[in-house]
Structure 1
Amino acid sequence: MQIHSKKEINKLAIKTSDYLVGVSGVKGLSVRVRPHGTKEYVMRYKHPHNPGSRPRMVLGNVEELSLDEAQRQGNAILSALAEGVDPKTIRLQDSINKYSYLKNATFNDMVTAWKKHQMSGKKQYAKSTQAYWDLCLNYMIEAVGDLRMDEISSEVILAVCEGVQNNDNKATFVGASVRLYTDKVFKFALARGLCKKNAAEPTRGELAAAGSGNHLPAIIKPEAFAELLKDMDNYEGAAEVTLAAINLLPYVFVRSIDIRSMLWEDINWEQALWEFSPVKGEGREDMVDSLVVPLATQVVRRLKAVQAITGQQKYVFSSLRSSKNPFISKATLIQAFHRMGYKGKHCPHGFRASAKTLLMEQPELRYSDTVTELQLGHKIKDTHGGAYNRLDEIDTRIKMMQDWADYIDNLKNSTDEILD
């Protein structure tokens, strides 16, 4: 077996011991799968000056390094070996010299270098993610961009972040993100000997939490949720594809952007699974970059109905009107809930909070925080600091998603008193 795509890497099973699977097209390049779930690219080669030695170089984690980049690096190593050069020597020298020009650099210059580093040799980040980096870091650049790294104090960093959190928009999340990305820039510089300390580190825990601002509206009580489901089922004020997306949201409780950009090719009909890369997971340390959503029988049935309409399109919820957007827009979903009378009460994103709360609190469900968080696409650390794999607790999650679908169908169809 050889690896040809990222999807094939994601499907590699976790075993009780390390094992290697070769990568197509590059001699010596493999993916190593470890028992705790880590997958990394490794390159094994014959030492140019010691034929009996076969060193192994770790190129990077598969979550951080794209398959194309791993193959490019593998071919570069083979080229160096053909010239009689040990690639480890080149790597060491490059790591020493690559950033020497940034000694005593300003914060602005260091931000530029950090962003370049993020975009080079790692996974491709969406333009929206890059724009968010700029939004957050520009607050700090305006305040200390011309100062050298060792001239910036923790007090100034904290003041800038608090100023963002306390502005007219009450941008709690953005202020916390300013601190986070400033910390990343300092870590980048400190690890390469480009500054003497990480001035952002002492500010950790000193700001309002990212999620402590105004929350998006969500209904979390069974009685009110049942009414919402009935209103959605009876709503006819939108196009057929939009109605299908609206009524699928409660069953899968993913983010609006992820259901709107859902691809037919990501659906595994045989196993009733939907595997995709969450848009918000790109560049986020708290979000997975690959999520598996088990599809309940009700969901499969609904998707089959949509397939009759958009099955020839790339996207499940393709925009059938002449539009710049290839799939239905965020505004379209939000406006539908407003028209149903739920402005300020519930929104498309709110189904995540609804599902999380009801799955954990209702007696007939009672699923754990770990399982629900995994299904929401949040990264969870175990007691040893290792992150859960995207397929962890998959059997439990398959059962949970079917139980959830049955539960909300019963809510919607019940005429009896619903017990809290």
Structure 2
Amino acid sequence: MATTEQQTPATVLAQHGLSVEELYDELSDKCTRPLRLDDLLYEAADRVPGLVPTRAEIEAERQRKLSDKTGVELGQGLLTAEILANPRIGRHLLESMLRPTPLALERLDELRSGGGVDLGHARVTRRGRAGVLELCNPRHLNAEDSTTLAETEAAVDLVLLDPEIEVGVFRGGVVDHPRYAGERPFGAGINLTHLYHGRVDFLFYLTRDLGYVNKLYRGLCDGPEKLWIAAVERFAIGGACQLLHVMDHVIAVNGTRLYLPARKEGIIPGASNLRLPRFVGDRAARQAILSGREWMAGQPDADLICDEIVEPDQVEVAIDARIEALTSSGLINAAANRSAIRAGQEPLDLFREYMATYAREQAYCHLSPALVSNLEEHWNADRRRL
């Protein structure tokens, strides 16, 4: 993997008489045209050859295993980092990523008229005044990868856009894995087999955290935000555990495993480095991220992550009770308090600055030979089939 021999975005742009800010202004019509991150980077590739990879170059990268990638995706991370480091254009990019996706807008009438939408890897069903979002990747224990991302984001959009839905519920779909057949594991995190075989692009990390995870936390740009309940069964590993940091109420089945395997994977666990210390304290967060500490729902130390512990046969009753509790007094004050808490804990500029660092450092992690070695050693990825 050639990850360290590329010119910086500033150097490449200077050869074309441009700065990062000038390029962004040109592509976004001076921050009046919203651009999703992938579209922005591909337009930048067309505008300034050699700055970041083109769509064709990324498609060619997808045909290579992680160990065989050329490293062209590094440019995407470096340019995104410089954009996010600039307060004006960085905020515009964040706000652009908080807009509803075309897929959600296409399916909104279906949800409003029929009470449910099946997007494939994500499903939304109206349940009283709540919208239940199920992440559905049954073969891979509800892991996330490039096949699930767009549909999950659209599902979040749909819950936020439907005026008859007052609160969201996020849970895993029913899986058919022999060990967990008929159960609803919350999520296994990033699909490590797909990652090892090169099927997960670098942009997956950024699109996920700037897209649907940030929408769970902040709502839509110039649109509604709603409270979210997590119904956590069996395990919440990696990216699934990260979701608990942006939920307003976490219902967990007694004995559920909560785990961020960042050390064994060799990547940064999304925004957990920013958010987890608020829940468990700095020392415990470092133990989790750097040394592999786990939590088990029902044990005292997990009370900082979970709000409510139930037995497996009590999950549905607990969900309905929490929906009623959150909606019975109206949502105006709840959303206002949620927004005020966030303003004190994680204002948008703090998140922007964090994501600038994340974009740069995660690009190096994604393209590091150490990631390949970790996947082989801890996951046996070289012996798993797609």
> What is the TM-score normalised by the length of structure 2?
0.27
Structure with bigger RCO (C-alpha 8 Å, 6+ apart): 2
Q: When you count helix as a share of all residues, which structure comes out higher?
A: 2
Larger radius of gyration: 1
Normalising by structure 1, what TM-score? 0.25
